[in-house]
């Protein structure tokens, strides 16, 4: 059955939804059950985009608070330059990629991650967590996970893994699904660390590593004599 032929959007919206500027304001003041026929002129995609923008507005602070958060190339360069010199000996430069991230996040897992972060807000939580989760569920029926959703999914995943493994990287930073890390425990333990990472979660990873050079976010990183970047 074509999912758009009878697009039912069961939204029990008990809060007022305000799309942040510069978008227009949209209000829902009671529970609705909206059925969109296939030949309707109702702007489904526009509605989804506005809901996504609203969700990202409320999720962005959680993303920016992640210890691994990298905003862009300039932020990455600033982070690398802030690493104390000299670095520990036997450094290995590592890059890790998720293959692919957005289509491999199970919706139930993704929504559980959103609930985890939303429930860390202080009371009263406005908009409410159930309200935001219903919006997220609607967006997911029309599209894959958005930038902020995927970032939080990876944020919780990496936190759980790094807290559970006996050896951890000297540095671990991430731009969405691209990870850069500095390893100081030898190649054999690095390979074990990466293989265990690849077997622990629903998403899968590929990686490369070198004792001399790597590239991350179009930045060439060289390790010079004396263990300096």
pLDDT in tens, 120-172: 999 999 999 999 999 898 888 776 566 678 899 999 999 999 999 999 999 99
Give residue 176's pLDDT.
Answer: 92
Give residue 225's pLDDT.
Answer: 60
Contact of 28 with 50, CB cutoff 8 Å: no
Whole-prediction pTM value?
A: 0.76
- What is the spatial distance between Cα 60 and Cα 123, in angstroms, rounded to a whole number? 19
Give residue 73's pLDDT.
Answer: 96
Does residue 222 carry a pLDDT above 70?
Answer: yes
Tens digit of each residue's pLDDT (9 = 90 or more) over 23-67: 222 333 333 343 444 444 445 556 677 888 888 899 999 999 999
Task: Output 155-163 pairs: Cβ under 8 A, ≥24 positions apart.
Answer: 155/62, 155/63, 155/66, 155/68, 155/69, 156/113, 156/116, 156/117, 157/201, 157/203, 158/68, 159/67, 161/197, 161/200, 161/201
Q: Is residue 228 part of a domain?
A: no
155: left (phi over 0), alpha (psi -120 to 50) or beta: alpha
Residue 151: count other Cβ atoms within 10 Å of its Cβ: 24
Q: Is residue 58 part of a domain?
A: yes
Does residue 2 carry a pLDDT above 50?
Answer: no
Q: Is residue 1 part of a domain?
A: no
Does residue 226 carry a pLDDT above 70?
Answer: no
Give residue 228's pLDDT.
Answer: 61
Quote the mean pLDDT of the chain.
79
Mean pLDDT (whole number) for 11-21: 34
Give residue 116's pLDDT.
Answer: 95
Q: Is residue 158 part of a domain?
A: yes
Q: Is residue 181 part of a domain?
A: yes
Does residue 20 carry a pLDDT above 70?
Answer: no
The share of the chain scoring above pLDDT 90, in percent, equals: 51
- Return the sign of the alpha-carbon dihedral for residues 136, 98, 196, 65: negative
Q: Is residue 229 part of a domain?
A: no
Mean pLDDT (whole number) for 76-82: 92
The total number of structural domains in the chain stands at 1
- Which of 69, 80, 104, 75 is CA-nearest to residue 179? 69
Q: Is residue 227 part of a domain?
A: no
- Which of 94, 188, 123, 109 is CA-nearest to residue 152? 109
Give residue 44's pLDDT.
Answer: 52
- DSSP assignment string, 134-190: HHHHHHHHHS---HHHHHHHHHHHHHHHHHH-SS--SEEEEETTEEEEEE-S-HHHH
Task: Give the domain range for residue 184.
Answer: 6-222
Give residue 175's pLDDT.
Answer: 96
């Amino acid at each position: 059955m074509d999912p758009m032929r009878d697009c039912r959007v069961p939204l029990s919206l008990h809060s007022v939804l305000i799309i942040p500027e510069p978008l227009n304001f949209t209000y829902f003041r009671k529970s609705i059950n909206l059925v969109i026929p296939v030949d309707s002129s109702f702007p489904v995609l526009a509605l989804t985009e506005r809901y996504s923008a609203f969700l990202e507005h409320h999720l962005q602070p959680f993303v920016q608070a992640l210890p691994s958060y990298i905003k862009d190339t300039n932020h990455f360069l600033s982070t690398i330059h802030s690493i104390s010199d000299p670095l520990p000996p036997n450094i290995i430069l590592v890059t890790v990629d998720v293959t692919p991230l957005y289509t491999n996040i199970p919706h139930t897992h993704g929504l559980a991650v959103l609930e985890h972060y939303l429930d860390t807000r202080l009371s009263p939580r406005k908009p409410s967590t159930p309200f935001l989760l219903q919006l997220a569920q609607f967006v997911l029926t029309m599209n894959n996970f958005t930038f902020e959703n995927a970032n939080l999914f990876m944020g919780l995943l990496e936190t759980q893994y790094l807290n559970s493994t006996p050896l951890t990287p000297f540095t671990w930073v991430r731009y969405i699904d691209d990870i850069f890390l500095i390893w100081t425990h030898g190649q054999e333990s690095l390979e074990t660390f990466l293989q265990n990472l690849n077997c622990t979660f629903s998403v899968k990873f590929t990686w490369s590593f070198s004792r001399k050079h790597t590239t991350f976010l179009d930045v060439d990183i060289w390790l010079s004599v004396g263990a300096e970047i």
